[in-house]
Amino acid sequence: DKLGFGHSTNNGFPGEAEGKLVGYEQWRPIERATLAFGYGLSSSALQLARAYGAIANDGIVQEISLVREERHVEGDRVMSTAIAKQIRAMLQGVVSPVGTAPRAQIHGYSVAGKTGTVKKAIAGGYSEDKYLGIFAGMAPASNPKLVLVVVIDEPKAGDYYGGLVAAPVFSRIMAGALRLMNVAPDDIKTSSVLAMLGRGTP
């Protein structure tokens, strides 16, 4: 709730859905289980980006704006700096060679993020054959400057897992954005490994 799930981001864009998150005091054992792997709630990509922004920003959640503003906004602390750093460290493991999203790696930069693969919600439940492939992450993980959420709606290429369809898109978009913003590389080891594997981002 503190991260904004179930609430509008108040970004000024008409038609935004608030999403749904039942208050924790109403969670039954089944909700605790399903929420642990991403079911039982709904959110927009923008809400997810705001939550990841808090993790990237050492536990402080900021207002969302579609227009760049020069004014400084303090934001609200929703977790300690130590907890935010611990979460970032865990999310880096997802992008490691043994994680679920090595395809999110970026030549020369550390990345922290999480995959998501969900069945699409339909009237009365969830579809059996339509999926959303998701990857949400930040870079550089050592000192995040950007957060990005990629959602692939009903992937058509056969694969539908977030680590397979959304993570590579994240890698390409984030790599380009980091270059445009002149963010210095922070991970020489990743750069060298990807170069040896021939998987450097073009």
Range(s) of the domain holding residue 63: 1-79
Pair (43, 106) in one structural domain:
no
Q: Is residue 12 part of a domain?
A: yes
CB 181 within 8 A of CB 109: no
For 82-92, b/e burial (b = at least 16 CB within 10 A) is: eebeebbeebb
Pair (32, 73) in one structural domain:
yes
Q: Is residue 85 part of a domain?
A: no
Q: Residue 154: give its domain's CATH number.
A: 3.30.450.330
Pair (120, 22) in one structural domain:
no
Q: Which of 55, 56, 175, 166 is nearest to 109 (CA)?
A: 175
Number of domains in the chain: 2
Pair (67, 109) in one structural domain:
no
Q: Is residue 91 part of a domain?
A: no
Pair (162, 66) in one structural domain:
no
- Give CA 53 to chain center in angstroms: 9
pLDDT at 180: 96
pLDDT, tens digit, for every residue of 137-164? 999 999 999 999 999 999 987 799 999 9
The strand order across the sheet containing 125-139 reads 112-122, 125-139, 146-153
pTM: 0.85
- Those residues of the chain that have pLDDT short of 50 are 200-202
